[in-house]
Amino acid sequence: MEEIKLIAFDADDTLWMNEYHYRKAELEFCEKMQKYTSAKTANELLLKREKQNLPLLGYGSKPFIISLIETAIEISNGEISTKEILELIEIGKETIGQPIELMPDVENVLSMLSLKFPLILATKGDLKEQESKIERSGLEKYFTSVEILSEKSSESYRRIIQKHSIKPENFLMVGNSFKSDILPVLEIGGNAIYIPSEIIWAHEIAQEIEHPRLKRADRLSVDLFV
Amino acid sequence: MEEIKLIAFDADDTLWMNEYHYRKAELEFCEKMQKYTSAKTANELLLKREKQNLPLLGYGSKPFIISLIETAIEISNGEISTKEILELIEIGKETIGQPIELMPDVENVLSMLSLKFPLILATKGDLKEQESKIERSGLEKYFTSVEILSEKSSESYRRIIQKHSIKPENFLMVGNSFKSDILPVLEIGGNAIYIPSEIIWAHEIAQEIEHPRLKRADRLSVDLFV
Protein backbone atom coordinates (compact mmCIF):
# COMPACT_ATOMS: atom_id res chain seq x y z
CA MET A 1 0.00 0.00 0.00
CA GLU A 2 3.02 2.37 -0.30
CA GLU A 3 1.65 3.95 -3.45
CA ILE A 4 -1.69 5.09 -2.07
CA LYS A 5 -2.35 8.82 -2.56
CA LEU A 6 -6.10 8.95 -2.03
CA ILE A 7 -8.45 6.82 0.07
CA ALA A 8 -12.19 6.80 -0.51
CA PHE A 9 -14.70 5.41 1.95
CA ASP A 10 -18.19 4.19 1.30
CA ALA A 11 -20.65 5.48 3.92
CA ASP A 12 -23.77 3.34 4.53
CA ASP A 13 -22.83 0.08 6.31
CA THR A 14 -19.13 0.89 6.01
CA LEU A 15 -18.92 3.88 8.38
CA TRP A 16 -22.35 3.58 9.96
CA MET A 17 -25.28 1.15 10.15
CA ASN A 18 -27.97 1.63 7.54
CA GLU A 19 -29.53 -1.55 6.15
CA TYR A 20 -30.64 -2.43 9.65
CA HIS A 21 -33.34 0.28 9.47
CA TYR A 22 -34.64 -1.12 6.18
CA ARG A 23 -34.70 -4.69 7.52
CA LYS A 24 -36.75 -3.45 10.45
CA ALA A 25 -39.20 -1.72 8.09
CA GLU A 26 -39.43 -4.86 5.93
CA LEU A 27 -40.29 -6.95 8.98
CA GLU A 28 -43.08 -4.54 9.86
CA PHE A 29 -44.30 -4.69 6.28
CA CYS A 30 -44.34 -8.52 6.30
CA GLU A 31 -46.24 -8.48 9.56
CA LYS A 32 -48.94 -6.28 8.02
CA MET A 33 -49.11 -8.61 5.02
CA GLN A 34 -49.42 -11.82 7.03
CA LYS A 35 -53.21 -11.91 6.66
CA TYR A 36 -52.67 -12.17 2.89
CA THR A 37 -49.43 -14.10 2.44
CA SER A 38 -46.29 -15.52 4.07
CA ALA A 39 -43.43 -13.27 5.13
CA LYS A 40 -41.23 -14.99 2.55
CA THR A 41 -43.56 -14.20 -0.34
CA ALA A 42 -44.19 -10.65 0.89
CA ASN A 43 -40.46 -10.00 1.07
CA GLU A 44 -39.81 -11.50 -2.35
CA LEU A 45 -42.54 -9.44 -3.98
CA LEU A 46 -41.29 -6.26 -2.30
CA LEU A 47 -37.76 -6.91 -3.52
CA LYS A 48 -38.99 -7.58 -7.03
CA ARG A 49 -40.94 -4.32 -7.01
CA GLU A 50 -37.94 -2.38 -5.71
CA LYS A 51 -35.86 -3.80 -8.54
CA GLN A 52 -38.49 -2.73 -11.08
CA ASN A 53 -38.59 0.79 -9.62
CA LEU A 54 -34.82 1.17 -9.34
CA PRO A 55 -34.08 2.52 -12.86
CA LEU A 56 -36.80 5.19 -12.63
CA LEU A 57 -36.81 6.03 -8.92
CA GLY A 58 -33.27 5.31 -7.71
CA TYR A 59 -32.14 4.58 -4.13
CA GLY A 60 -33.27 5.58 -0.66
CA SER A 61 -36.37 5.86 1.46
CA LYS A 62 -38.71 7.47 -1.05
CA PRO A 63 -38.57 4.71 -3.69
CA PHE A 64 -38.85 2.28 -0.76
CA ILE A 65 -42.11 3.92 0.40
CA ILE A 66 -43.58 3.82 -3.11
CA SER A 67 -42.58 0.15 -3.49
CA LEU A 68 -44.16 -0.70 -0.12
CA ILE A 69 -47.50 0.75 -1.26
CA GLU A 70 -47.47 -0.86 -4.69
CA THR A 71 -46.53 -4.26 -3.27
CA ALA A 72 -49.15 -4.08 -0.50
CA ILE A 73 -51.89 -3.33 -3.05
CA GLU A 74 -50.63 -6.23 -5.17
CA ILE A 75 -50.42 -8.72 -2.28
CA SER A 76 -53.81 -7.76 -0.83
CA ASN A 77 -55.39 -7.84 -4.28
CA GLY A 78 -56.47 -4.24 -3.71
CA GLU A 79 -58.06 -5.08 -0.35
CA ILE A 80 -55.65 -3.17 1.86
CA SER A 81 -57.26 -0.19 3.62
CA THR A 82 -56.16 3.41 3.16
CA LYS A 83 -55.45 3.50 6.90
CA GLU A 84 -52.92 0.69 6.40
CA ILE A 85 -51.43 2.50 3.41
CA LEU A 86 -50.80 5.54 5.61
CA GLU A 87 -49.19 3.21 8.17
CA LEU A 88 -46.89 1.82 5.46
CA ILE A 89 -45.88 5.38 4.50
CA GLU A 90 -44.98 6.00 8.15
CA ILE A 91 -42.95 2.76 8.31
CA GLY A 92 -41.03 3.94 5.25
CA LYS A 93 -40.53 7.48 6.54
CA GLU A 94 -39.05 6.07 9.73
CA THR A 95 -36.03 4.81 7.78
CA ILE A 96 -35.11 8.52 7.36
CA GLY A 97 -33.47 10.52 10.10
CA GLN A 98 -32.62 7.63 12.39
CA PRO A 99 -29.75 8.23 14.84
CA ILE A 100 -26.38 7.45 13.27
CA GLU A 101 -24.65 4.45 14.82
CA LEU A 102 -21.00 4.40 13.80
CA MET A 103 -19.29 1.09 13.04
CA PRO A 104 -16.63 0.02 15.57
CA ASP A 105 -13.42 2.09 15.61
CA VAL A 106 -14.47 4.32 12.69
CA GLU A 107 -13.61 7.64 14.30
CA ASN A 108 -10.20 6.40 15.43
CA VAL A 109 -9.30 4.97 12.00
CA LEU A 110 -10.40 8.10 10.13
CA SER A 111 -8.60 10.48 12.46
CA MET A 112 -5.34 8.50 12.16
CA LEU A 113 -5.59 8.07 8.39
CA SER A 114 -6.51 11.69 7.75
CA LEU A 115 -3.07 12.70 9.08
CA LYS A 116 -1.36 10.71 6.34
CA PHE A 117 -3.76 10.66 3.36
CA PRO A 118 -6.42 12.83 1.81
CA LEU A 119 -9.68 10.98 2.52
CA ILE A 120 -12.87 11.30 0.53
CA LEU A 121 -16.35 9.97 1.10
CA ALA A 122 -17.87 8.24 -1.94
CA THR A 123 -21.47 7.26 -1.41
CA LYS A 124 -24.44 6.62 -3.64
CA GLY A 125 -28.07 7.24 -2.98
CA ASP A 126 -30.46 10.07 -2.34
CA LEU A 127 -28.66 13.43 -2.16
CA LYS A 128 -30.69 14.88 0.70
CA GLU A 129 -30.67 11.69 2.78
CA GLN A 130 -26.92 11.17 2.34
CA GLU A 131 -26.08 14.81 3.15
CA SER A 132 -28.13 14.61 6.30
CA LYS A 133 -26.45 11.38 7.44
CA ILE A 134 -22.95 12.76 6.77
CA GLU A 135 -23.74 15.87 8.76
CA ARG A 136 -25.21 13.92 11.66
CA SER A 137 -22.30 11.44 11.68
CA GLY A 138 -19.85 14.16 12.76
CA LEU A 139 -17.28 12.57 10.42
CA GLU A 140 -17.25 15.21 7.69
CA LYS A 141 -14.20 16.91 9.21
CA TYR A 142 -11.98 13.97 8.26
CA PHE A 143 -12.79 14.20 4.56
CA THR A 144 -11.34 16.63 2.02
CA SER A 145 -14.34 16.07 -0.22
CA VAL A 146 -17.66 14.27 -0.38
CA GLU A 147 -18.94 12.65 -3.57
CA ILE A 148 -22.60 11.68 -3.62
CA LEU A 149 -23.16 9.61 -6.75
CA SER A 150 -26.35 8.33 -8.31
CA GLU A 151 -24.52 5.11 -9.25
CA LYS A 152 -21.10 3.66 -8.43
CA SER A 153 -19.81 2.55 -11.80
CA SER A 154 -16.24 2.22 -13.06
CA GLU A 155 -16.95 5.47 -14.92
CA SER A 156 -17.79 7.35 -11.71
CA TYR A 157 -14.59 6.09 -10.02
CA ARG A 158 -12.58 7.05 -13.10
CA ARG A 159 -13.96 10.58 -12.80
CA ILE A 160 -12.97 10.80 -9.12
CA ILE A 161 -9.45 9.66 -9.95
CA GLN A 162 -9.13 12.18 -12.78
CA LYS A 163 -10.45 14.97 -10.60
CA HIS A 164 -7.70 14.29 -8.07
CA SER A 165 -5.03 13.99 -10.80
CA ILE A 166 -3.81 10.58 -9.63
CA LYS A 167 -3.37 7.19 -11.29
CA PRO A 168 -5.74 4.28 -10.57
CA GLU A 169 -2.97 2.40 -8.73
CA ASN A 170 -2.73 5.31 -6.25
CA PHE A 171 -6.42 4.99 -5.38
CA LEU A 172 -7.86 2.88 -2.57
CA MET A 173 -11.58 2.32 -1.99
CA VAL A 174 -13.00 0.91 1.26
CA GLY A 175 -16.52 -0.47 1.33
CA ASN A 176 -19.01 -3.19 2.16
CA SER A 177 -20.59 -3.74 -1.25
CA PHE A 178 -18.61 -5.99 -3.55
CA LYS A 179 -20.75 -4.83 -6.45
CA SER A 180 -20.53 -1.06 -5.92
CA ASP A 181 -17.36 -0.46 -3.91
CA ILE A 182 -14.99 -3.22 -4.97
CA LEU A 183 -15.54 -4.64 -8.48
CA PRO A 184 -15.65 -1.34 -10.43
CA VAL A 185 -12.52 -0.08 -8.62
CA LEU A 186 -10.53 -3.27 -9.34
CA GLU A 187 -11.76 -3.07 -12.92
CA ILE A 188 -10.13 0.32 -13.54
CA GLY A 189 -6.86 -0.70 -11.83
CA GLY A 190 -7.46 0.64 -8.33
CA ASN A 191 -7.05 -0.96 -4.91
CA ALA A 192 -9.84 -2.03 -2.60
CA ILE A 193 -10.50 -3.10 0.97
CA TYR A 194 -13.68 -5.15 1.31
CA ILE A 195 -15.36 -5.22 4.72
CA PRO A 196 -18.56 -7.23 4.34
CA SER A 197 -21.42 -6.02 6.52
CA GLU A 198 -23.68 -8.37 8.43
CA ILE A 199 -26.69 -7.37 6.40
CA ILE A 200 -26.73 -6.22 2.81
CA TRP A 201 -29.51 -5.25 0.43
CA ALA A 202 -30.19 -8.13 -1.97
CA HIS A 203 -29.60 -5.82 -4.96
CA GLU A 204 -26.03 -5.18 -3.84
CA ILE A 205 -25.01 -8.84 -3.80
CA ALA A 206 -22.38 -9.76 -6.39
CA GLN A 207 -20.09 -12.68 -7.16
CA GLU A 208 -16.95 -12.18 -5.09
CA ILE A 209 -13.51 -12.73 -6.60
CA GLU A 210 -9.94 -12.89 -5.37
CA HIS A 211 -7.59 -10.20 -6.64
CA PRO A 212 -3.98 -9.11 -5.90
CA ARG A 213 -5.10 -5.51 -5.28
CA LEU A 214 -7.92 -6.55 -2.93
CA LYS A 215 -7.83 -6.99 0.85
CA ARG A 216 -10.67 -8.48 2.86
CA ALA A 217 -11.34 -7.76 6.52
CA ASP A 218 -13.94 -8.45 9.18
CA ARG A 219 -13.89 -4.92 10.47
CA LEU A 220 -12.24 -1.55 9.99
CA SER A 221 -8.86 -1.10 11.67
CA VAL A 222 -5.75 1.02 11.22
CA ASP A 223 -3.63 -2.10 10.50
CA LEU A 224 -5.41 -2.55 7.19
CA PHE A 225 -3.77 0.59 5.80
CA VAL A 226 -0.11 -0.08 6.57
CA MET B 1 -20.48 42.88 -16.25
CA GLU B 2 -16.76 43.29 -17.06
CA GLU B 3 -15.68 41.59 -13.88
CA ILE B 4 -17.54 38.30 -14.39
CA LYS B 5 -15.26 35.26 -14.17
CA LEU B 6 -17.82 32.51 -13.64
CA ILE B 7 -21.44 32.18 -14.75
CA ALA B 8 -23.80 29.67 -13.15
CA PHE B 9 -27.11 28.64 -14.64
CA ASP B 10 -30.10 27.17 -12.91
CA ALA B 11 -31.57 24.25 -14.88
CA ASP B 12 -35.31 23.55 -14.35
CA ASP B 13 -37.42 26.31 -15.96
CA THR B 14 -34.31 28.33 -16.78
CA LEU B 15 -32.75 26.06 -19.43
CA TRP B 16 -35.70 23.73 -19.95
CA MET B 17 -39.38 23.40 -19.06
CA ASN B 18 -40.11 21.50 -15.86
CA GLU B 19 -42.96 22.86 -13.75
CA TYR B 20 -45.28 22.31 -16.67
CA HIS B 21 -45.15 18.53 -16.07
CA TYR B 22 -46.07 18.99 -12.41
CA ARG B 23 -48.95 21.35 -13.27
CA LYS B 24 -50.28 18.72 -15.64
CA ALA B 25 -50.07 16.06 -12.91
CA GLU B 26 -51.78 18.37 -10.43
CA LEU B 27 -54.66 18.91 -12.86
CA GLU B 28 -55.08 15.16 -13.21
CA PHE B 29 -55.02 14.85 -9.44
CA CYS B 30 -57.71 17.52 -9.00
CA GLU B 31 -59.85 15.81 -11.61
CA LYS B 32 -59.68 12.56 -9.64
CA MET B 33 -60.58 14.43 -6.46
CA GLN B 34 -63.58 16.27 -7.91
CA LYS B 35 -66.05 13.75 -6.52
CA TYR B 36 -64.85 14.75 -3.05
CA THR B 37 -63.90 18.43 -3.27
CA SER B 38 -63.24 21.42 -5.53
CA ALA B 39 -60.07 21.70 -7.60
CA LYS B 40 -59.07 24.74 -5.55
CA THR B 41 -59.29 22.88 -2.24
CA ALA B 42 -57.59 19.78 -3.64
CA ASN B 43 -54.69 21.88 -4.92
CA GLU B 44 -54.36 23.79 -1.66
CA LEU B 45 -54.30 20.62 0.42
CA LEU B 46 -51.73 19.04 -1.91
CA LEU B 47 -49.50 22.09 -1.65
CA LYS B 48 -49.82 22.11 2.13
CA ARG B 49 -48.86 18.43 2.27
CA GLU B 50 -45.87 18.99 -0.02
CA LYS B 51 -44.69 21.76 2.27
CA GLN B 52 -45.01 19.47 5.31
CA ASN B 53 -43.05 16.73 3.54
CA LEU B 54 -40.33 19.03 2.19
CA PRO B 55 -37.94 18.99 5.20
CA LEU B 56 -37.98 15.17 5.42
CA LEU B 57 -38.41 14.14 1.77
CA GLY B 58 -36.89 16.99 -0.26
CA TYR B 59 -37.62 17.87 -3.90
CA GLY B 60 -38.63 15.98 -7.02
CA SER B 61 -41.09 13.39 -8.23
CA LYS B 62 -40.84 10.90 -5.38
CA PRO B 63 -41.94 13.25 -2.57
CA PHE B 64 -44.61 14.47 -5.02
CA ILE B 65 -45.96 10.91 -5.42
CA ILE B 66 -46.05 10.36 -1.66
CA SER B 67 -47.83 13.71 -1.15
CA LEU B 68 -50.40 12.82 -3.83
CA ILE B 69 -51.31 9.61 -1.99
CA GLU B 70 -51.46 11.17 1.46
CA THR B 71 -53.58 14.09 0.23
CA ALA B 72 -55.97 11.82 -1.70
CA ILE B 73 -56.57 9.68 1.39
CA GLU B 74 -57.15 12.85 3.42
CA ILE B 75 -59.53 14.45 0.88
CA SER B 76 -61.52 11.24 0.33
CA ASN B 77 -61.68 10.62 4.05
CA GLY B 78 -60.07 7.24 3.40
CA GLU B 79 -62.63 6.34 0.73
CA ILE B 80 -60.30 6.41 -2.27
CA SER B 81 -59.80 2.96 -3.84
CA THR B 82 -56.46 1.21 -4.12
CA LYS B 83 -56.95 1.22 -7.90
CA GLU B 84 -57.07 5.03 -7.79
CA ILE B 85 -53.99 5.12 -5.56
CA LEU B 86 -52.09 3.12 -8.18
CA GLU B 87 -53.32 5.61 -10.80
CA LEU B 88 -52.00 8.50 -8.69
CA ILE B 89 -48.61 6.78 -8.46
CA GLU B 90 -48.57 6.54 -12.26
CA ILE B 91 -49.52 10.21 -12.61
CA GLY B 92 -46.57 11.08 -10.35
CA LYS B 93 -44.14 8.75 -12.11
CA GLU B 94 -45.01 10.43 -15.41
CA THR B 95 -43.32 13.63 -14.23
CA ILE B 96 -40.03 11.69 -14.50
CA GLY B 97 -38.30 11.06 -17.81
CA GLN B 98 -40.38 13.46 -19.89
CA PRO B 99 -38.73 14.72 -23.09
CA ILE B 100 -36.60 17.78 -22.42
CA GLU B 101 -37.97 20.94 -24.05
CA LEU B 102 -35.28 23.62 -24.07
CA MET B 103 -36.22 27.24 -23.46
CA PRO B 104 -35.87 29.54 -26.51
CA ASP B 105 -32.32 30.30 -27.66
CA VAL B 106 -30.68 28.32 -24.82
CA GLU B 107 -28.27 26.37 -26.98
CA ASN B 108 -27.16 29.46 -28.88
CA VAL B 109 -26.59 31.50 -25.70
CA LEU B 110 -24.64 28.74 -23.96
CA SER B 111 -22.44 28.00 -26.96
CA MET B 112 -21.55 31.71 -27.36
CA LEU B 113 -20.96 32.29 -23.63
CA SER B 114 -18.91 29.14 -23.18
CA LEU B 115 -16.27 30.63 -25.52
CA LYS B 116 -15.76 33.56 -23.14
CA PHE B 117 -16.58 32.30 -19.64
CA PRO B 118 -16.43 29.08 -17.66
CA LEU B 119 -20.06 28.06 -17.21
CA ILE B 120 -21.42 25.87 -14.46
CA LEU B 121 -24.82 24.34 -13.90
CA ALA B 122 -26.19 24.88 -10.38
CA THR B 123 -29.41 23.04 -9.76
CA LYS B 124 -31.21 21.70 -6.75
CA GLY B 125 -33.39 18.66 -6.41
CA ASP B 126 -33.19 14.92 -6.70
CA LEU B 127 -29.71 13.74 -7.76
CA LYS B 128 -30.86 10.98 -10.08
CA GLU B 129 -33.62 13.03 -11.72
CA GLN B 130 -31.37 16.03 -12.27
CA GLU B 131 -28.51 13.93 -13.70
CA SER B 132 -30.89 12.28 -16.11
CA LYS B 133 -32.33 15.62 -17.30
CA ILE B 134 -28.86 17.12 -17.79
CA GLU B 135 -27.78 14.14 -19.82
CA ARG B 136 -30.91 14.15 -21.96
CA SER B 137 -30.69 17.94 -22.51
CA GLY B 138 -27.47 17.56 -24.52
CA LEU B 139 -26.22 20.76 -22.83
CA GLU B 140 -23.61 19.21 -20.53
CA LYS B 141 -20.82 19.94 -23.02
CA TYR B 142 -21.13 23.69 -22.40
CA PHE B 143 -20.47 23.39 -18.66
CA THR B 144 -17.13 22.96 -16.92
CA SER B 145 -18.89 21.54 -13.89
CA VAL B 146 -22.30 20.54 -12.61
CA GLU B 147 -23.39 21.19 -9.03
CA ILE B 148 -26.49 19.36 -7.85
CA LEU B 149 -27.44 20.81 -4.48
CA SER B 150 -30.01 19.69 -1.94
CA GLU B 151 -30.75 23.37 -1.20
CA LYS B 152 -29.72 26.68 -2.76
CA SER B 153 -28.68 28.76 0.23
CA SER B 154 -26.18 31.60 0.46
CA GLU B 155 -23.90 29.01 2.07
CA SER B 156 -24.04 26.71 -0.97
CA TYR B 157 -23.25 29.63 -3.33
CA ARG B 158 -20.38 30.69 -1.07
CA ARG B 159 -18.96 27.19 -1.36
CA ILE B 160 -19.16 27.28 -5.17
CA ILE B 161 -17.36 30.63 -5.25
CA GLN B 162 -14.62 29.38 -2.90
CA LYS B 163 -14.19 26.22 -4.94
CA HIS B 164 -13.52 28.31 -8.05
CA SER B 165 -11.20 30.68 -6.16
CA ILE B 166 -13.06 33.82 -7.22
CA LYS B 167 -14.67 36.74 -5.37
CA PRO B 168 -18.46 37.08 -5.06
CA GLU B 169 -18.41 40.13 -7.39
CA ASN B 170 -16.91 37.93 -10.13
CA PHE B 171 -19.85 35.51 -9.92
CA LEU B 172 -23.05 35.70 -11.95
CA MET B 173 -26.07 33.47 -11.40
CA VAL B 174 -28.90 33.10 -13.94
CA GLY B 175 -32.22 31.64 -12.87
CA ASN B 176 -35.99 31.76 -12.67
CA SER B 177 -36.48 31.45 -8.91
CA PHE B 178 -36.08 34.70 -7.00
CA LYS B 179 -35.90 32.73 -3.78
CA SER B 180 -33.30 30.13 -4.79
CA ASP B 181 -31.32 31.66 -7.66
CA ILE B 182 -31.36 35.40 -6.97
CA LEU B 183 -31.73 36.44 -3.31
CA PRO B 184 -28.99 34.22 -1.79
CA VAL B 185 -26.53 35.30 -4.54
CA LEU B 186 -27.19 39.02 -4.04
CA GLU B 187 -26.89 38.46 -0.30
CA ILE B 188 -23.30 37.23 -0.56
CA GLY B 189 -22.28 40.03 -2.97
CA GLY B 190 -22.73 38.24 -6.31
CA ASN B 191 -24.52 39.28 -9.51
CA ALA B 192 -27.75 37.83 -10.81
CA ILE B 193 -29.93 37.71 -13.90
CA TYR B 194 -33.55 36.95 -13.12
CA ILE B 195 -35.67 35.44 -15.89
CA PRO B 196 -39.09 34.69 -14.42
CA SER B 197 -40.77 31.61 -15.84
CA GLU B 198 -44.41 31.51 -16.77
CA ILE B 199 -45.18 28.93 -14.11
CA ILE B 200 -43.42 28.49 -10.80
CA TRP B 201 -43.93 26.15 -7.86
CA ALA B 202 -45.72 28.00 -5.06
CA HIS B 203 -42.90 27.14 -2.63
CA GLU B 204 -40.39 29.03 -4.75
CA ILE B 205 -42.26 32.33 -4.68
CA ALA B 206 -40.43 35.11 -2.81
CA GLN B 207 -40.71 38.87 -2.39
CA GLU B 208 -38.84 40.43 -5.31
CA ILE B 209 -36.50 43.36 -4.74
CA GLU B 210 -34.56 45.83 -6.90
CA HIS B 211 -30.79 45.67 -6.65
CA PRO B 212 -27.85 47.31 -8.49
CA ARG B 213 -26.28 43.90 -9.18
CA LEU B 214 -29.52 42.42 -10.52
CA LYS B 215 -30.81 42.37 -14.11
CA ARG B 216 -34.28 41.22 -15.06
CA ALA B 217 -35.24 39.82 -18.44
CA ASP B 218 -38.18 38.21 -20.18
CA ARG B 219 -36.07 35.57 -21.85
CA LEU B 220 -32.51 34.36 -22.21
CA SER B 221 -30.40 36.18 -24.83
CA VAL B 222 -26.74 36.86 -25.48
CA ASP B 223 -27.27 40.65 -25.05
CA LEU B 224 -27.85 40.13 -21.33
CA PHE B 225 -24.22 39.16 -20.83
CA VAL B 226 -22.45 42.10 -22.51
The pLDDT tens digits of the residues spanning B89-141 come to 999 999 998 999 999 999 999 999 999 999 999 999 899 999 999 999 999 99
Residues B193, B177 contacting (CB under 8 angstroms): no
Q: What is the pLDDT of residue B207?
A: 86
**Which of B61, B85, B127 is opposite residue A150, by nearest beta carbon?**
B127
Average pLDDT over residues B14-23: 95
Residues 115-154 of A with CB under 8 A from B: 126-129, 131, 148-150
Indicate the pLDDT class of residue A199, thresholds 50, 70 and 90: confident
Mean pLDDT over each residue of chain A, to the nearest integer? 95
A83 to chain B, any CB pair closer than 8 A? The answer is: yes
More confident residue, A173 or A202: A173
CB contact under 8 A, B79 and A82: yes
Residues A80, B82 contacting (CB under 8 angstroms): yes
- Would you give the DSSP letter of residue A224? G
Kindly tell me if the per-residue pLDDT of A195 is higher than 90. Answer: yes
Residue range B207-220, pLDDT digits in tens:
889 999 999 999 99
Give long-range contacts, CB 8 A cutoff, 24+ apart: B99-105.
B99/B136, B100/B16, B100/B133, B100/B136, B100/B137, B100/B138, B101/B16, B101/B17, B102/B15, B102/B16, B102/B137, B102/B139, B103/B13, B103/B14, B103/B15, B103/B16, B103/B17, B103/B219, B103/B220, B104/B219, B104/B220, B105/B219, B105/B220, B105/B221
Q: What is the CATH number of domain A6-17+100-225?
A: 3.40.50.1000
Backbone φ/ψ region at A224: left (φ over 0), alpha (ψ -120 to 50), beta: alpha
Give long-range contacts, CB 8 A cutoff, 24+ apart: B39-42.
B41/B75, B42/B71, B42/B75
B216 to chain A, any CB pair closer than 8 A? The answer is: no
Q: What is the pLDDT of residue B226?
A: 83
Residue range A76-100, pLDDT digits in tens:
999 999 999 999 999 999 999 899 9
Kindly tell me if the per-residue pLDDT of B65 is higher than 70. Answer: yes
Q: What is the pLDDT of residue A1?
A: 54
CB contact under 8 A, A85 and B85: yes
- Is residue B7 classed exposed, middle or buried when 0-12, 13-18 and 19+ CB atoms within 10 A define those classes? buried
Closest Cα of chain A to B144: distance in Å? 12
- Which has the minimum average pLDDT: A55-64, B43-52, B116-125, B194-203? B194-203
Average pLDDT over residues B55-65: 95
Q: What is the pLDDT of residue B203?
A: 80
Average pLDDT over residues A59-67: 96
Kindly tell me if the per-residue pLDDT of B2 is higher than 80. Answer: no
Q: What is the rounded distance in angstroms from the CA atom of residue B64 to the CA atom of residue B117?
A: 36
Which residues does A148 contact at the CB level (< 8 Å), separation at least 6? A123, A124, A125, A127, A130, A131, B127
Residue range A13-31, pLDDT digits in tens:
999 999 999 999 999 999 9
- In total, the C-beta contacts within 8 angstroms joining chain A to chain B are 82
CB contact under 8 A, B70 and A86: yes
Q: What is the pLDDT of residue B1?
A: 54
Tell me if residue A75 falls in helix, strand or coil.
helix
Q: Return the domain boundaries, chain B.
A: 6-17+101-225, 19-93
Mean pLDDT over each residue of chain B, to the nearest integer? 95
Q: What is the rounded distance in angstroms from the CA atom of residue A144 to the CA atom of residue A114?
A: 9
Average pLDDT over residues B80-95: 98
Indicate the pLDDT class of residue A150, thresholds 50, 70 and 90: confident
| pTM score of the predicted model | 0.91
Number of neighbouring beta carbons within 10 Å of residue A154? 16
Q: What is the pLDDT of residue A134?
A: 95
Per CATH, domain B19-93 is 3.30.70.360: no
Contacts of B89 in chain A (CB under 8 A): 66, 69-70
Residue range B147-184, pLDDT digits in tens:
999 889 999 999 999 999 999 999 999 999 999 999 99
Q: What CATH topology corresponds to B6-17+101-225?
A: Rossmann fold (3.40.50)
Q: What is the pLDDT of residue A204?
A: 80
Q: Where are the beta strands (DSSP E) in B12-140?
A: 119-124
**Which of B61, B131, B150 is opposite residue A131, by nearest beta carbon?**
B150
Nearest CA in chain B to A79: B82
